[in-house]
């Protein structure tokens, strides 16, 4: 019996190592599902009863919605949906529900979410003589407001930017990129790429073809480590931006091109000033590249940057002429509260590549803090 347990533990450890080294989502998900079958987590997912969430409430709601759909009762379905569409029904959105297994959560929750999605499509496609356009518009506006939005946050991290690019390419390949994206420093570069390239351009594997290692590594390393003079540092930064940001357009023009709200964090270089979040709402006329250039100005390495905007005549002019700005990760690396206020964001996907924060990230199961050396080693972070 003991030997069987040892074999099982060893098998799970081997799978965990493979999961950690997976190179794409499909490989990761296949291994994670295999781990769930061997660990017993798959059985946990299929068992409705659990103290971690209100399975009775979710099962009851699921039954009502499913019944309305099967019978084609559009008015009853709309009424049922109006009783509540949000991401934490019966506690189903609690983080603890998503760290019991490697892949997914309770099957009941998956079924309920799928039925909600089917119900929303049913209402949208319902003939207007049964549910008027005005009723639909009112319902979907309220549902959107109640449900909230997701945002993708890309941290600073300079030489580890290729981790952002790998995350982004997987999200793009699976049509999972949120319409709200923020970035600081290195993350600002990737955010700008997302906000200035169309879906067609991105789906051609843009981030696979534009890996950061295509840039002159020696020059970039000299830039990051402060080995260049101020003018050389500025020129090197502009060279990097020339390569990775193909279009010099304003935030408003970027939104009109892609439909994505990109947000670039910048920090003030003077005292008594506050950090800012540049986007199509707060600064529609500012050039995206100008904001990225400021967000990428590392204090003590690259001189503080002035912002530039497109005037009403179409000419370029300074924006807040007397102000200079630096690295966005200094004061606004992950601006969750600001995104919540501007866009109604209540769910975030964070790509955190800054190794400095690794010791402060807790394991969601063990709640044990890792030592810095071990954490860096486990993360396998190699700048170049």
Query: Which residues are part of the catalytic machinery?
Result: 185, 327
Beta strands 345-351; 180-184: pairing state: unpaired
How far from chain centre, in Å, is Cα 239? 27
Under a CB-based contact definition with an 8 Å cutoff, are residues 119 and 65 in contact? yes
The secondary structure of the chain in percent helix, strand, coil, rounded to multiples of 5, reads: 55, 10, 35
Alpha-carbon distances of 73 from 39, 66, 79, 80, rounded to whole Å: 42, 10, 10, 11
Q: How many CA atoms lie within 13 A of 324 on its CB side?
A: 10
Nearest to 103 by CA among 52, 50, 35: 35
Nearest to 39 by CA among 58, 62, 14: 14
Under a CB-based contact definition with an 8 Å cutoff, are residues 347 and 176 in contact? no
**H or E element at residue 351:** strand 345-351
Neighbours of 215 (CB within 10 A): 16
Under a CB-based contact definition with an 8 Å cutoff, are residues 327 and 156 in contact? yes
Separation of alpha carbons 47 and 123, rounded Å:
31
**H or E element at residue 262:** strand 261-268
Separation of alpha carbons 381 and 384, rounded Å:
9
Cα-only R_g, the chain: 24
H helices within 148-229, ranges in order?
161-173, 186-196, 199-203, 206-209, 217-224
Neighbours of 289 (CB within 10 A): 22
């Amino acid at each position: 019996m003991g030997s069987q347990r040892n074999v099982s533990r060893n098998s799970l450890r081997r799978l965990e190592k493979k999961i950690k080294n997976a190179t794409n989502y499909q490989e990761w998900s296949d291994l994670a599902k295999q781990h769930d079958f061997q660990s017993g987590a798959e059985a946990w997912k299929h068992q409705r009863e659990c103290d971690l969430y209100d399975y009775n409430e979710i099962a009851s709601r699921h039954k009502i919605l499913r019944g309305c759909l099967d019978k084609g009762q559009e008015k009853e379905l709309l009424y049922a949906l109006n009783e509540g569409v949000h991401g934490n029904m019966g506690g189903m959105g609690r983080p603890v529900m998503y760290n019991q297994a490697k892949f997914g959560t309770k099957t009941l929750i998956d079924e309920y979410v799928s039925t909600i999605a089917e119900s929303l499509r049913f209402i949208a496609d319902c003939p207007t003589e049964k549910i008027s356009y005005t009723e639909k518009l009112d319902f979907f506006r309220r549902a959107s407001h109640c449900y909230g939005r997701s945002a993708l946050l890309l941290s600073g991290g300079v030489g580890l930017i290729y981790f952002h690019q790998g995350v982004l390419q997987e999200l793009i390949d699976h049509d999972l990129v949120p319409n709200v994206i923020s970035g600081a420093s290195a993350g600002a570069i990737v955010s700008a790429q997302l906000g200035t390239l169309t879906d067609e351009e991105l789906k051609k594997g843009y981030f696979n073809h534009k890996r950061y290692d295509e840039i002159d590594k020696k020059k970039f390393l000299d830039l990051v480590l402060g080995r260049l003079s101020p003018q050389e540092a500025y020129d090197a930064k502009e060279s990097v931006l020339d390569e990775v940001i193909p279009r010099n357009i304003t935030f408003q023009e970027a939104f009109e091109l892609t439909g994505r709200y990109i947000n670039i964090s910048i920090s003030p270089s003077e005292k008594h000033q506050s950090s800012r979040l540049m986007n199509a709402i707060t600064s529609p006329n500012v050039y995206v590249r100008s904001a990225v250039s400021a967000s990428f100005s590392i204090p003590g390495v690259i001189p503080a940057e002035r912002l530039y905007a497109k005037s009403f005549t179409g000419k370029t002019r300074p924006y807040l002429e007397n102000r200079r700005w630096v690295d966005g990760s200094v004061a606004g690396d992950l601006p969750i509260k600001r995104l919540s206020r501007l866009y109604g964001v209540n769910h975030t996907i964070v790509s955190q590549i800054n190794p400095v924060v690794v010791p402060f990230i807790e394991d969601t199961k063990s709640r044990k803090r890792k030592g810095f050396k071990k954490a860096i080693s486990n993360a396998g972070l190699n700048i170049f």
